[in-house]
Structure 1
Amino acid sequence: MDLRVVGEASNGREAIDLVRVHEIDVLVMDLSMPGQSGLDALAMLRAKAPDMGILILSGYPEEHYAINLIRQGASGYLNKECEPKEIVEAIRTIALGRRYLTPSVADLLAQQLNRKDDAPPHEQLSEREFQVFLKLAKGETAGDIAKSLSLSVKTVSTYRTRLMEKMGLSSNSDLTYYALKNKLID
């Protein structure tokens, strides 16, 4: 067997601690975790272990998150509905230092190259704007967001203003509606 599990974490904070203690080639991570989300943990994990492969396994359809996550440093993205052997294949590919793209994610990336202007508004947000957007959409306050992302409340407000402008939205309830309609949150 060429794969070995060196540890398990039930949330983003534990995943970061795990990376501090063990040398990990590929981290398999869910997006939805208690406390710190996979999206928030991704940036911190990238900073701690820039060469580690990160495979995101998620219940969300690829078209909603895959591109953003790959932009933010994920090495691959699989929907939980995939075959178990595909997970193993993805881990092996990522362990070789390559990205693992399913045909549908590769298609999405190719479409993005062709049409930046008519991409959905949320795909035009920066990493941080996207993080703040999701947290606001889930009803978190600027204070909560500032604390969880280690930012000032003023910085969070600036991100909020910028993302609202980019997306053409005017209130937090608009954000929530947009996120639900586009299946970015449950």
Structure 2
Amino acid sequence: MLRVAIVDDHEIVRAGFREMLADESGIAIAFEAASGEEALARLPGSACDVLLLDLALPGQSGVDVLRTLRQHHVDLRVLVLTGYPEERYALTMIRHGADGYLSKECGQAELLQAVRTVAQGRRYLSPYVAELLAGRVAGTVAEAPHQQLSERELQVFLRLAQGQSVSKIGTVLHLSVKTVSTYRSRLLEKLGVESNAELAAYALRNGLLVE
């Protein structure tokens, strides 16, 4: 039996994916969670093979949760299932450890294919994401500055863009204020901006704000 967890803060969305998966023999719902914190709390006591992870979660974002999962649940397969278009986050999330990336607009057949693919230890790439990756490898698709950020830089960037203070980011991410300030300086340089306001404007232009 393949055990799947669904992490999304919208009950109606969880219900929809639960229904799509429940109709398939050989798949059981391990648990559902409305936040990253709830999912992380449930995992130690729940047998789970594949976790469906939204990026836009209250509290810890999907970006934060993925980092924790890769540190403490290395055998768990993670399929990002989100409303953000593939061109915004897919390659970045896969580079940072996701086993696949799927739009919430997917149909039942594609969802089942993605779940089974990552459960087998392989990466799931939709045709569009595969095309993006091929373009990147061939050099015909330019990599945007934010796509070159490290996992930790991305976490700090998104929180700064949301208007969080350096001290709050340090508390949430368990980093010193000095370390967060160092990341901020790197971000300003890498993204070619000069202030937090310009960081936020960059994020808005590129549709990156995870709320």
Structure 2 residue 165 is the aligned partner of structure 1 residue 175: no
Distance 2:139 2:154 in 1: 20
Distance 1:78 1:107 in 2: 14
Distance 1:16 1:57 in 2: 17
Which residue matches 1:96? 120
Contact 2:67 2:151 in 1 (8 A): no
CA drift at 1:83: 1.1
Which residue matches 1:21? 45
Which residue matches 1:31? 55
Which residue matches 1:132? 156
Which residue matches 2:93? 69
Unaligned runs of 5+ residues in structure 1 are: none
Q: What is the aligned-residue RMSD (CA, Å)? A: 1.5
TM-score (normalizing by structure 2): 0.84
Which residue matches 1:11? 35
CA drift at 1:27: 0.4
Structure 2 residue 200 is the aligned partner of structure 1 residue 157: no
Which residue matches 1:115? 139
Structure 2 residue 75 is the aligned partner of structure 1 residue 57: no
Unaligned runs of 5+ residues in structure 2 are: 1-24
Corresponding letter in the other structure for 1:58: T
Distance 2:142 2:131 in 1: 16
CA drift at 1:114: 3.1
**What percentage of aligned pairs have identical amino acids?**
51
* CA 1:183–1:100: 2 relative to 1, 3 Å: same
Contact 1:19 1:48 in 2 (8 A): no
Corresponding letter in the other structure for 2:132: L
